[in-house]
């Protein structure tokens, strides 16, 4: 994730351009028609892989799967390999020059920009037409305190009208997704919650705000940040 991002953005982990993404994938020998199975580390369980899968789908990969916890895969006796990571496929200069053309500019309907989101929140006629889901820990959402490891330089709180569904609340103790029935009853990092909606069988249109809280807190006025400091 750290390599396949927009390095020119002041905000972390923003999507790269189509050309940057194509070059990154070509250097690793990954083609748009490959079957991709994405998973987190043994210790992590399920955290970053939904974001990687979402980005791959955003750029046009059709056959993308998220492994519901690598540790469980190993415990259930499925095959694993060890050793050095496979060397990326070598590419000629001409092949690398052509690589960006493999990925056309993606449809933008699964990503919402800062400007669009801000207009929706401020427009009274849009009330009830959308729901913002904030997947951060509750202490960050409420504005009470910074979570462990979170930067204290970023303002605390949340977007007006947002509801809080911490990403780990859709996971069980074994760090796998809860069963679909529990996810639906539950109410529902953003890509984890987006995937949880689909696992639950809820057919709703979603857009991910790529700038996330880092951009929002940096750009808006104080009255555009809500807080709930009650214990």
pLDDT of amino acid 230 = 57
Long-range contacts of 144-151 (CB under 8 A, 24+ apart): 144/228, 144/229, 144/231
CB of 213 closer than 8 Å to CB of 147: no
Confidence of residue 121 (pLDDT cuts 50, 70, 90): very high
> Facing residues of 177 across strands?
171
| Domains along the chain with CATH numbers | 1-106 (3.40.250.10), 111-224 (3.40.250.10)
Among 43-52, 103-112, 149-158, 175-184, the least confident range: 149-158
pLDDT of amino acid 231 = 46
Residues 6 or more apart whose CB falls under 8 angstroms from that of 156 comprise 140, 142, 143, 144, 145, 146, 227
**pLDDT score of 190 more than 70:** yes
Report the candidate in 10, 15, 51 with the shortest Cα–Cα distance to residue 153: 10
* Residue 166 DSSP one-character state: -
- pTM for the structure as a whole: 0.82
Residues 6 or more apart whose CB falls under 8 angstroms from that of 226 comprise 143, 157, 158, 159, 160, 162
Residues 6 or more apart whose CB falls under 8 angstroms from that of 220 comprise 118
Among 62-71, 85-94, 139-148, 195-204, the least confident range: 85-94
Q: Tell me the C-alpha distance between 25 and 61, whole Å.
A: 11
């Amino acid at each position: 994730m750290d390599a396949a991002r927009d390095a020119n953005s002041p905000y972390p982990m923003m999507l790269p351009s189509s050309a940057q993404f194509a070059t990154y994938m070509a250097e690793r020998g990954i083609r748009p028609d490959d079957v991709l199975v994405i998973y987190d580390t043994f210790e992590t369980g399920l955290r970053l892989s939904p974001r990687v899968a979402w980005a791959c789908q955003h750029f046009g990969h059709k056959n993308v799967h998220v492994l519901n916890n690598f540790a469980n895969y190993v415990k259930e006796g499925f095959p694993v390999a060890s050793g050095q990571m496979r060397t990326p496929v070598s590419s000629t200069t001409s092949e690398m020059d052509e690589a960006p053309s493999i990925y056309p500019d993606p449809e933008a309907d699964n990503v919402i920009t800062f400007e669009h989101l801000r207009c929706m929140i401020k427009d009274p006629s849009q009330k009830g037409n959308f729901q913002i889901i904030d997947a951060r820990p509750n202490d960050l959402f409420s504005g009470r305190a910074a979570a462990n490891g979170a930067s204290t330089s970023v303002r605390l709180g949340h977007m007006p009208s947002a509801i809080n569904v911490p990403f780990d609340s859709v996971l069980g103790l074994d760090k796998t997704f809860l069963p679909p029935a529990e996810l639906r009853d539950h109410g529902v990092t953003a890509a984890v919650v987006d995937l949880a909606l689909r696992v639950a069988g809820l057919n709703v249109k979603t857009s991910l705000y790529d700038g996330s809280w880092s951009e929002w807190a940096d750009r808006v006025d104080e009255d555009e940040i809500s807080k709930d400091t009650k214990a």
